[in-house]
Amino acid sequence: MRPVRGAVTVAQVAAAAVVVARLARGRRRLPALLPRPAAGEPVSVVIPARNEEARIGPCLRAALAAPAVREVIVVDDGSGDGTARLAASLGAVVVTADPLPPGWVGKQWALRQGVAAARSDVVVTLDADVRPEPGLFGALAATLDRYDLVSAGPRFVCDGPLEQALHASMLATLVYRFGPVGPPSPPPPHRALANGQCMAFRRARMTETDGFALVRDRMTDDVALARCLAGRGWSVGFLDAGGLLEVDMHDSAGELWREWGRSLPLADVTGPGWQAADLAVVWLTAALPVLRLAAGRPTGLDLALLGLRVSLTAALRGSYRRPGAGLLLSPLLDPAAAFRLTQATVRPVRRWRGRTYGQVTGGGRTYGEVSGGGRTYGEVSGGGRPARPARSGAR
C-alpha cells in the first residue's frame, strides 16, 4: 500500500503544480469587454433555434433593440412549436433550415445557413437562452480588429442553491483544466476554448473557409470550431463578457447534470491522452481532497488544495448574477462533478434536441481533417421532422 500511496502523492503534487500554474494566469488575464452601444460596422445576429418558443423572446427583444444590430436572423431548425411565428412577430428575419443532410449536427447546419443569409460582414451568433445587453454587439465588433474569431464568456443565472453549487463545481473543472477566461496569450490550437453561446467573426472569411462544414459532425461544436480555425492560422479569442451577457442554461440541477455534463468532457474534440490527463488533474486536485476530508484523513497537501478551491469560489463570484450559498458550498460537490466528467468521457452522449447522431471516432485528429477521410457521420434517427413552416422574411 505504501508504494501506491507514494505514487498517488507524487501524482497529486504534479497535478497541483499544473493547477496552480493555470490559475496564476488569472492575474494577467485580458480585461472584460466594456459596452459599446454603436459599432463602426453594422452587425448581423444569427440565432439557431429548435423548439425555443418558451425561451427565445428576451434574447430577440434585446438583440433587435441594440443600436449596432442591423438585422436578427433566426434559423428555425425544424421546430414543432411556435418559434418561427414568435420570431417573425417580434421583427426577426426567419430562415427555415433545409432538411438536415447526412454527416451534419443540426446547430452547425443552421448556423451555416444563417451566415449565408446575413447582409453584414460582422456576424454575431447567439443561443436562444442568452440575454445580451445592448452594448455587447459593438464591443464584439470592435474585437474583430484583433481576432478572427472571438467568443464571450457570460454571467450565469442559476435557479436555487443546489443548481448553483453543481454549476460552480462543473465550472471549476473547466478552470482547473484550461485556466480562466481571457488568457493573456493564446493557447495552442489543441487546447483552445470557446463558448458557442456567443461568437463573433467576419462573414466573408467564415464563408470562404466554410468553417461550420469543417466541424459538421462535432457535438462540441464551439470548441471544435475554435481549435480547427486556430490550427489554420486564425487568431481566436475567448473574452469575459459577464457584464454584457447573461445565460440561464438549465431549469434544474437535474437538467444541468444531464445536459452540461454531457458536453463538459469535450470528448469528441480531445485526444485520449489529454482526456486522461484532464481527469487525473480534476480527481487528484479537486475530488480527492474533499473525499479525504470527509473520511477525516486529509493530508497537508489536501488542505492546501481545499484552500485553493475555496479561493476559486471567490474568484467565480463575478460569473453569477446572484452568487450565494450554492457557490460557497460548491467545493463539496467536486467529487460528483469529477464522477460526471468521467462518466461522460467513458460513455459520450450523441443525442441532442430529439436527434441521435452516429458515433464519431478520432477525437484527437487534426481539425483540418475533421470531416474528411471519406467517412460520413450521419444522423441515426431524427425522431420525425415536422413539416417545414412557411419562410418568413428569408432571402
55 has pLDDT over 50: yes
Q: What is the pLDDT at residue 388?
A: 32
pLDDT tens, residue by residue, 337-367: 999 999 999 987 766 666 666 665 444 443 3
Cα–Cα distance measured from residue 373 to residue 359, given in angstroms and rounded to the nearest whole number:
15
CB 9: neighbour CB atoms within 10 A? 13
190 has pLDDT over 50: yes
Cα–Cα distance measured from residue 197 to residue 43, given in angstroms and rounded to the nearest whole number:
17
Average the pLDDT over 90-105 and give the result: 95
Lowest mean pLDDT segment, chosen from 219-228, 230-239, 348-357: 348-357
DSSP 109: H
The residue type at 272: P
Average pLDDT, the chain: 89
SS3 state of residue 386? coil
Q: Of 295, 125, 280, 143, whose CA–CA distance to 211 is shortest?
A: 125
Identify the burial level of 111 via C-beta atoms within 10 angstroms of its C-beta, where 0-12 means exposed, 13-18 middle and 19 or more buried.
Answer: buried
Cα–Cα distance measured from residue 370 to residue 348, given in angstroms and rounded to the nearest whole number:
18
SS3 state of residue 376? coil
CB 5: neighbour CB atoms within 10 A? 10
pLDDT tens, residue by residue, 134-167: 999 999 999 999 999 999 999 999 999 999 999 9
Q: What is the pLDDT at residue 390?
A: 32
Identify the burial level of 341 via C-beta atoms within 10 angstroms of its C-beta, where 0-12 means exposed, 13-18 middle and 19 or more buried.
Answer: buried
Q: Can you state the angle between helices 334-346 and 161-178, rounded to 10 degrees?
A: 60
SS3 state of residue 75? strand
What pTM was computed for the model? 0.87
CB 45: neighbour CB atoms within 10 A? 31
Average the pLDDT over 166-182 and give the result: 96
Task: Give me the architecture of the 2-381 domain, per CATH.
Answer: Alpha-Beta Complex (3.90)
Give the whole-number percent of the chain exceeding pLDDT 70: 88
Q: What is the pLDDT at residue 356?
A: 66
Q: Are strands 43-49 and 69-76 parallel, antiparallel or unpaired?
A: parallel
